[in-house]
Structure 1
Amino acid sequence: MAGKKISPWVKGALDWGPLVAFFIAFNRLKDGHYEILGRDYSGFIVATALFVPLIAISTFLLWRLTGKLSPMQIATLVLVLIFGGLSVWLNDPVFFKMKPTIIYLLFAAILGAGLLRGKAWLQLVMDEAIPMEHAGWMILTKRFVALFIALAIANEIVWRTMSDSVWVDFKTFGLPIILIGFILSQSKLFERYGIEKPKADEDGQGDA
């Protein structure tokens, strides 16, 4: 099924809305403890319990609106459901904090496996946005593998050595800023290996 275009504002709201909601909920609830069905929960766990269904709903809406989901979106949803669910069920925030580590290591492993076979699987996800020659995708994929491993290590250091507030700030702002900064830093690579998309027939007619 071909993907359908949606407004960038709608896509941005669905992509980032659950994370922003988690950040707001955590900062409002972090100092309290809440009794639910006879169990005492921290504000962190309550915010996590809100985040898990929100990301499930937003991913479902993205699928309904666009007709497709990337492998990364599917993997992220599955791991959020597993690790976020475990944190809520066991009343232990550690599982949710480990989720970014597992996600980044999984992405690094998948991309690394593709590289061993001479394939740049990152191209399957990003080629529509950044068309490049195969050689460029191989270089970018290697760099993303290194980035994902570094982010996994960074997440482990932050959640194990710092407060919940610092980790939430790092997850909400630090990780996205690093990813965006990394992509912007690859401009030379995009210029060297980029290719122009073929222009659509202005008359909208194709061969019979």
Structure 2
Amino acid sequence: MQLENAELKKRILRDTTELKTTKYKLLRTQIIGRDPSNINGYLYIDTGQRQKLHVNQPAIAVNGLVGKIKYVGFNYSIVETIENKGFTVSAIDVNTGIHGIVKNKGNLIFDFIKINDAINIGDAVYTSGMSEIFPEGIFIGRVKKIERGDDLFFKPVYITPGVQINRLTHVYIISGSTITANNEYKEQYNYKEQSDTELFVPGSGR
């Protein structure tokens, strides 16, 4: 038990060290419950109105995007995760610069990818920043499967998420920054390919 506790403390320290250099303020929160009818779709965290949280604040982990706050109570909040059916986020394939929307349709799909777009297995998909909720540059996952499908214009592209929701014990809430919609992709923004154990947020200097 002592060995397990020591390993847990080491992991928490590593996670905090990796995240604290981002340009956004990150509030570390503990997961205190899960929705029994949708165990990975919604997480209950131990912070709320008392900590000035609000609906739609992004939730992240070291390995990438977790979701967004759906409801805020006085001393707890509910996070809707990327594993909840209907969850959507604007995204970009950083290997090719191709934009789309990541949607959970029972599976995580990189949607609106044209049939002739050069998406490849293993490509890294990040938030694009073309949203009033999510800043650009948060790792979402990697392309795991590409199908032709029946659509004449678009092809289904399946994503493996970077974060394993069922293994999380805590999440970080992004705050302290006004997140506004980007009307165009910033070419000067230098996307770097990250390993699956890293989180990249603009301004972190990493």
Smaller-chain TM-score bracket: under 0.3
- Identify which of structures 1 and 2 has the higher relative contact order when contacts are C-alpha pairs closer than 8 Å and 6+ apart: 2
**Larger helix fraction of residues:** 1
The alignment's TM-score, normalised by the length of structure 2, stands at: 0.27
Give 1 or 2: higher strand fraction: 2
